[in-house]
């Protein structure tokens, strides 16, 4: 299940960003991944999109919604510089 979630998340990020910037997510192991976002970007995700993660951009992959990957990826891409 974790691998499926990771791959789906990485693919959604690729589709929304039109880049391979987040492909590393698919190869991580475990329940969490750091996305490499700044604290300001993480705060924007909270305030603008109600997406919550730790300030260092660590996200709980196990808690990602399978049917909401594209919406989540779109929100993440919207806060990129």
CB 59 within 8 A of CB 33: yes
| CATH number for the domain whose boundaries are 2-78 | 3.90.1150.10
| Bridge partners (DSSP) listed for residue 58 | 34
pLDDT for res 1: 77
pLDDT for res 81: 77
Model pLDDT for residues 13-69, shown as the tens digit of each residue: 999 999 999 999 999 999 999 999 999 999 999 999 999 999 999 999 999 988 999
In sequence order, which ranges of the chain are alpha helices (DSSP H)? 2-17, 24-27, 39-49, 69-78
pLDDT for res 79: 98
- State yes or no: pLDDT of 2 exceeds 90: no
Indicate the pTM of the whole model.
Answer: 0.92
Q: At what angle do helices 69-78 and 39-49 cross, to 10 degrees?
A: 130
Structure tokens at 47: 């305030």
pLDDT confidence of 74, banded at 50, 70, 90? very high
């Amino acid at each position: 299940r974790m691998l499926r979630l990771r791959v789906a998340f990485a693919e959604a990020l690729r589709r929304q960003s039109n880049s391979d910037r987040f492909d590393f997510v698919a190869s991580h192991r475990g329940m969490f991944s750091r996305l490499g976002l700044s604290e300001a970007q993480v705060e924007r995700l909270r305030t603008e999109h109600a997406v919550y993660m730790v300030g260092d951009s660590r996200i709980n992959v196990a808690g990602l919604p399978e049917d909401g990957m594209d919406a989540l990826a779109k929100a993440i891409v919207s806060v990129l510089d």
